[in-house]
Every structure is written in C-alpha cells, then in structure tokens.
Amino acid sequence: MEEKLIRIPAETQYAEELRALEVEDRRPKPGNWRLSPWAVLKYLTGGKTEQGLEITPKYIGPRRLLEIAIASLLSDRALLLTGVPGTAKSWLAEHLAAAVSGHSNLLVQGTSGTGEDALRYGWNYARLIAGGPSRDALVPGPVMRAMESGQLVRIEELTRIPTEMQDALISILSEKCLPVPELELEIQARQGFNVLATANDQDKGIYPMSSALQRRFNVLVMPLPASLEEEISIVRQRVHQLGQSLQLPLEELRQQNVEKLLTLLRELRTGVTHDGKQKLKPTRSVFSPAETISMLHHARIQHHYFSERPLDATDLVRAVVQTFVRDDAEEREVLSSYAESVLRKRNAWNDWYEAFREQLLVK
C-alpha cells in the first residue's frame, strides 16, 4: 500500500502544470530558470495551457505585485516578502521557487538558534580532524548549494535570525560570492541564484535587519485581501485543497456560511462594519486568511467525523471562539459587543447571533 505524505511540495503537487507550461513556453528563459518570467506569472495567476489544461491560481491578489516579485528575482537584489502573519508570504515564496528553479527544497528556517553555518557552510568534523580542511570535509549550506547550482534559496522568518548572523548574507548578496578562507577559495554564484526571504511585520522588534542588509533587498509588503469576494475565493480554494486528502466534501461548507463568516471576521479586523456605517471595538487578532483557513479546516474535520447534522453557524462560531478567543477576557468582550451591537440587528443573522451568545457564555 502506497504511503501518502502529509504535505506535498509545490513542485510535486503541481508537477503536471509545471511540465505543461514548460513544454509550451517559447519565451526566453533567464539562466537556469525552468520557466520564463511570463510562464512563471501564468503559473501563479492561473489560466489554461494551449492543450486545455487548467492552471490553478496559486496567489489571488494584485497581479502587479507578482510582476514586481518575479522581476526582483532577475535583478541584482534579493527579494523580501513581508507583512502581517497569514498573508501567503511562505506560500508565494514556495511556488516562486518551484516555478523558477524546479524545486523549493533549498530552505533556511530562521530561528534565534540559526547559526552562520546555515547561511554559509559547516564542516564534517570527523573528516576535518582526520585530514584537515578540504573540499570533502566542507558541508555546504542551502545558500552555498543554491549559489553553485544557480537556484533560488528561501529564507523563512529572516528577522528571527540574530542580526549578526543575518549579516553573513551581505557579502553574498553584494559580491555574489562566498569566501571559504580555510580552503583559500571563493564560491561564485551562477546565473539564476538569488535569495527569497520572508519576514512578519510583527517580528520587527526581535532581530532588526541592519541598514546594510536592507539595502540589498527589494521589499514587497504582502496585503490582506482587498475585497470580500477575493478573500472568499482564497479561503474556499485552500480549504478544498486541504480537505481533499481526507476526502471531505466541499459541499458541506456552504457558500453562504463562508460569506457570513468572512464578513464578520473582516469587520472585526478592520474595526468597521461592511457598509462603513458603524465603528467597532478594536481587536488584537489579525483574522488573516491563513488563520481562517486553518480554523475552517479543523472545523470541517471535527464536524465530518463527529456530527450527522449539516455544518452550520454553531460549528463555525465555536471554531472562531476556540481559535481566537480561548480564555482572553478582552477578546471575549470584543466579540460579545460585536454580537450585541451588530449581529442582533441583522435579521438574516439570527442563528449567528444566538451561536455567539451561547459560545461566549461558556468559559
């Protein structure tokens, strides 16, 4: 029996789409790029190939932002995707790497424990002790491997890496080479090499980037969805993809329920009702699409296996409270005020109002 993977890399999950785009791609390709910039954009935005294969959109948002991101990867500067949590920074970075380099596995996961060897190179100490410094004893990190092969390397959560470690990237990004003084050599970057980093706005105060490093990045701020319709499309598409491995029917997640859920989350996020007529108590939660997708996926799993009635407002409100409120008295007060001042006045929202009243009384 074939064992299924929990998470499939983008280049594997969308291998058919990438192959189809590569076959019909007649545009000029930069050095070591699998697809031309035009084909990369089509892979991200979706469409149809000449043979009629449907390319699913990987990012729903401003096309101009994607064009800037792709162009940045062709320039002499690296690309930094930043924004609040849940704005698809990592998702977009992975798909960019899959489309440009053919794989997304050259990755540095930024943490406070990330050392310089992850950004440069390390040593096989057994070989180092036995024979001294040599190329065989050298252990290249993802950045060095990307330089040698002319690939993209991803750095997740760049601002969670200590500043003095981040600065190991400065000479790499400016000179496009990596000195190895122990071997008296320099690793020169091949065409196609670049760094694609992500960082959360909320991490600005952890390990700020030095001005010298900042100058070597083109920074793109990833926006939250501009419209309700756009957010609904993003959430439904991703929730459906997550549910396929468990064979969860999308039909049980009715469009009307998704629309109402995202309407109230957007209102709480922006602090004003959808019609702009009423201001609301501020909330600390971002209510980002990524958080909503995770919440909805969990609610679908719980409902599918443990309930025989249709998925309704009660299930979704319970998920909202469990995900965003928990034992936070201030957030509980914000939701309670919203239910009383907004939902109670909407005739078509009685079931949502009653569900909030029921859930917020439970501690």
Spatial separation of the C-alpha atoms in residues 161 and 104, rounded to whole Å: 20
Neighbouring C-alpha atoms within 13 Å toward the C-beta of 75: 15
CATH number assigned to the domain with residue range 10-221, chosen from the 4 options 3.40.50.300, 3.60.20.10, 3.10.100.10, 3.90.550.10: 3.40.50.300
CA dihedral of 274, 280, 282, 286, whole degrees rounded to 10 = -20
| Dihedral (CA of 239, 240, 245, 248) sign | positive
Q: Considering the chain, what percentage of its residues have pLDDT values greater than 70?
A: 97
pLDDT(1) > 50? no
Q: Kindly report, residue by residue over 121-161, the tens digit of the pLDDT.
A: 999 999 999 999 999 999 999 999 999 999 999 999 999 99
- Average of per-residue pLDDT values in the chain: 91
**Angle, CA of 291, 293 and 295, to the nearest 5°:** 70
Domain boundaries, the chain: 10-221, 228-360
pLDDT at 204: 61
Give the mean pLDDT of 291-313. Answer: 90
CB count, 10 Å around CB of 137?
Answer: 19
Q: Kindly report, residue by residue over 321-347, the tens digit of the pLDDT.
A: 998 888 788 999 999 999 999 999 999
pLDDT at 6: 78
pLDDT(363) > 60? no
Nearest one of 176, 238, 196, 218 to 101, comparing CA atoms: 196
Cα-flanking dihedrals φ and ψ of residue 54, to 5°? -80, 120
Residue 362 pLDDT class (50, 70, 90 cuts): low
Statement: the pTM of the whole predicted model exceeds 0.85:
yes
Residue 203 pLDDT class (50, 70, 90 cuts): low
Q: Specify the residue for token string 């997740």.
A: 156
Residue 205 pLDDT class (50, 70, 90 cuts): low
Spatial separation of the C-alpha atoms in residues 82 and 68, rounded to whole Å: 14
pLDDT at 245: 76
